């Protein structure tokens, strides 16, 4: 049984001892203390029985998200962080005990009205599902872990497309030439964009990976570099990969590391590189439409295949885990196949 005692300040202190559990808290009134004690006793009973505990009556979705952010120590991407902030803003005041399909239906309606597409809303619900699953299995709360996933599955009945269109855009030789001319002839251009683009084409690395490369991680003898925390759908933090620097990449790296022992290989902010690339595409004549820095990775990956590298070797360079992930970046044409067949066979002797 819980015990209650009034403190000299007039507040009430409640204490619960049950099945090895001890908790205590102070409240402004005895009624609040009793309500709290009743919930704690019920939770201890559920925990002892090995079942999930009822959610606290006053607990909100914002409380659960805050607890998740405090507890989960793995690195979160910017997209996930921004999405959780949005969910807190839109649904944070909803009590966990009141979270249901109607609440999420209205949330989806608002997201559609604000201009969000099916891919974005699907991602919103996936992140919400992560929070609910964590609350159920890590906090042992009786939460509807399938709720967000079921709502996501229903998006197709709204006519929403939930799978993003795969890009196959690559920069053409003419587009690259015009960009290089623009940057090389601009005396105010502080970020060496031509060099960064050429390095991206020679390595297939992402923009963020290029900006994070450290001189200490370069092996001059082996001509390799360690890419730290490389993007991975299952493991981002600690996913370090040693990749070879091919001839064109090494020609860029070698003069940059002379006389330098520490620091970033390219000491430029990722945001600055992105802004310079976007600005360059707008300022060339005529402007280049719908080209992103990441599209250099498409062209680089295709070039690796055209060199004759097989799937495992290309995957080592690009960091892709499966052929299905890698296939969308390839641009092998019929003429490439004919050219490979026309090459003289290598003797087995």
Quick check: 344 pLDDT over 60? no
User: What is the tens place of the pLDDT at every residue in 211-240?
Assistant: 999 999 999 999 999 999 887 755 556 688
Range of the domain at 206: 173-342
Confidence grade of residue 75 (pLDDT, cut at 50, 70, 90): low
Kind of pairing between the strands at 12-18 and 241-244: unpaired
Q: Which two tokens stand for residue 338?
A: 């004919």
Residue 182 counted as domain residue: yes
Quick check: 110 pLDDT over 80? yes
Residue 167 counted as domain residue: no
Same domain, 336 and 208: yes
Strands of the sheet with 218-219, listed across from one edge = 218-219, 224-227, 241-244
Determine the number of helices (DSSP H) and then strands (DSSP E) in the chain. Answer: 15, 6
HSE (side-chain half, CA atoms, 13 Å) at 197:
29
Same domain, 245 and 267: yes
Q: What pLDDT is recorded for position 233?
A: 59
Same domain, 87 and 192: no
List the single range of 227-231, 256-260, 331-335 with lowest mean pLDDT.
Answer: 331-335
Place of tokens 């992560």: 130
CA–CA separation, 176 vs 197, rounded Å?
A: 9
Kind of pairing between the strands at 241-244 and 224-227: antiparallel
* CA proximity to 117, closest of 179, 74, 73, 162: 162
Residue 303 counted as domain residue: yes
For the full predicted model, state whether its pTM sits above 0.85. Answer: no
Secondary structure (DSSP) of 13-81: EEEEEETTEEEEEEESSHHHHHHHHHHHHHHHHHHHTTSPBPPPTT-BHHHHHHHHHHH--S---HHHH
For residue 256, give the CATH number of its domain: 1.10.443.10
Q: What pLDDT is recorded for position 235?
A: 57
Give the bridge partners for 6, in sequence order. Answer: 12
* CA proximity to 167, closest of 338, 13, 334, 298: 298
CA–CA separation, 154 vs 109, rounded Å?
A: 13
User: What is the tens place of the pLDDT at every residue in 288-308?
Assistant: 999 999 999 999 998 998 888
Same domain, 187 and 295: yes
Confidence grade of residue 165 (pLDDT, cut at 50, 70, 90): low
Same domain, 189 and 308: yes
* Contacts for 150-157: CB closer than 8 Å, 24+ residues apart: 150/101, 151/101, 151/104, 151/105, 151/108, 151/125, 152/121, 152/122, 152/125, 152/126, 155/108, 155/118, 155/121, 155/122, 155/125
pLDDT, average across residues 69-97? 87
Higher pLDDT, 272 or 164: 272
Q: What pLDDT is recorded for position 346?
A: 45
Same domain, 115 and 26: no
Percent of the chain at pLDDT exceeding 90: 59
Residue 53 counted as domain residue: no
CA–CA separation, 170 vs 124, rounded Å?
A: 29
Residue 165 counted as domain residue: no
Same domain, 86 and 191: no
Q: What pLDDT is recorded for position 322?
A: 75
pLDDT, average across residues 252-265? 94
Confidence grade of residue 319 (pLDDT, cut at 50, 70, 90): confident
Residue 252 counted as domain residue: yes
Residue 272 counted as domain residue: yes
Higher pLDDT, 64 or 56: 64
Q: What are phi and psi of 116, to 5 degrees?
A: -70, 140
Confidence grade of residue 51 (pLDDT, cut at 50, 70, 90): low
Q: What is the count of structural domains for the chain? A: 3
Same domain, 267 and 289: yes
Same domain, 33 and 81: no
Residue 198 counted as domain residue: yes
Q: What pLDDT is recorded for position 333?
A: 67
Same domain, 214 and 84: no
Q: What pLDDT is recorded for position 23?
A: 80
Quick check: 168 pLDDT over 80? no
CA-based end-to-end distance of the chain: 87
Residue 339 neighbours by CB under 8 Å, 6+ apart: none
Torsion over CA: 39, 41, 42, 47 (sign): positive
List the single range of 96-100, 176-180, 199-203 with lowest mean pLDDT.
Answer: 96-100
Picking from 158, 190, 218, the residue at the C-terminal end of a domain is 158
Same domain, 179 and 297: yes
Same domain, 313 and 238: yes
Picking from 129, 158, 187, the residue at the C-terminal end of a domain is 158
């Amino acid at each position: 049984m819980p015990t209650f005692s009034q403190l000299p300040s007039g507040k009430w202190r409640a204490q619960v001892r049950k099945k090895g559990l001890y908790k205590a808290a102070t409240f402004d009134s005895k009624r609040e203390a009793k309500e709290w004690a009743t919930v704690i006793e019920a939770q201890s009973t559920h925990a002892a029985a090995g079942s999930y505990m009822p959610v606290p009556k006053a607990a909100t979705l914002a409380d659960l998200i805050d607890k998740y952010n405090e507890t989960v120590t793995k690195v979160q991407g910017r997209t996930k962080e921004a999405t959780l902030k949005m969910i807190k803003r839109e649904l944070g005041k909803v009590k966990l005990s009141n979270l249901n399909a109607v609440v999420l239906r209205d949330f989806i309606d608002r997201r559609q009205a604000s201009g969000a597409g099916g891919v974005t809303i699907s991602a919103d619900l996936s992140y919400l599902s992560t929070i609910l699953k964590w609350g159920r299995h890590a906090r042992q709360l009786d939460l509807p872990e399938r709720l967000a996933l079921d709502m996501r599955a229903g998006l197709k009945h709204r006519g929403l497309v939930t799978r993003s269109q795969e890009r196959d855009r690559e920069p053409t030789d003419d587009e690259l030439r015009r960009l290089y001319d623009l940057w090389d002839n601009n005396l105010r251009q502080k970020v060496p964009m031509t060099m960064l683009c050429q390095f991206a084409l020679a390595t297939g690395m992402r923009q963020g990976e290029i900006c994070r490369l450290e001189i200490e991680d370069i092996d001059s003898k082996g001509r390799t570099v360690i890419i730290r925390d490389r993007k991975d759908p299952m493991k981002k933090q600690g996913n370090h990969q040693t990749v070879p620097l091919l001839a064109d990449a090494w020609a860029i790296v070698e003069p940059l590391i002379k006389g330098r022992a520490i620091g970033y290989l390219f000491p430029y902010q990722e945001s600055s590189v992105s802004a310079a690339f976007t600005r360059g595409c707008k300022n060339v004549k005529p402007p280049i439409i719908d080209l992103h820095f990441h599209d250099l990775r498409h062209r680089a990956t295709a070039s690796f295949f055209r060199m004759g590298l097989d799937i495992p070797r290309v995957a080592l360079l690009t960091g892709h885990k499966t052929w299905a992930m890698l296939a969308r970046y390839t641009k092998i044409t019929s003429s490439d196949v004919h050219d490979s067949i026309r090459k003289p066979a290598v003797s087995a002797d």
